[in-house]
Amino acid sequence: MRMTIFTFSADGGWQTIEDFLAVPDVSDCAEERALAGFSKYPALSVGDTEGGAFCVEIYGREFGAASRKQSQYEYLVAVDVGDSGEFIAIPSLPDLLEFMRLTIPLCVTIDDWRIRHEKYMAEIEEKLNSGRQK
């Protein structure tokens, strides 16, 4: 179980805070997010959502939704790097935009590299297979 998560703000940078999402009787991250008032589904997903190389998913607060827990954060970002995932709490829209300015180019670059790598590997496999058939 997580004990801390990260928070990011444009003026304060990166910090570690107590995990306000954690609920002792809940093991599902989607349910933890919902209980804290964040949407079930990401409002934005950027990067490799299928292969898990690097992905950023942004969840917004559902204002007016009944939530078991209250939070001072308007946004929650899930960052997946390979097999590891982290949540980042973001206080406001300007902070989210700064976070995106820093991370989205990285997501796009890694995803582009992955696509090119897969294409290159498919071409190599095709050439190897055509050489075996002769």
Tell me the pLDDT tens digit for each residue of 76-123.
998 888 778 889 999 999 999 999 999 888 877 877 777 787 889 889
Tell me the pLDDT tens digit for each residue of 21-50.
877 777 777 777 777 778 877 888 777 666
CA 42 distance to own-chain centroid: 9
Q: How many residues does the chain have?
A: 134
Q: What's this model's pTM, rounded to 2 decimal places?
A: 0.72
State phi, psi for 14 to the nearest 5 degrees: -90, 135
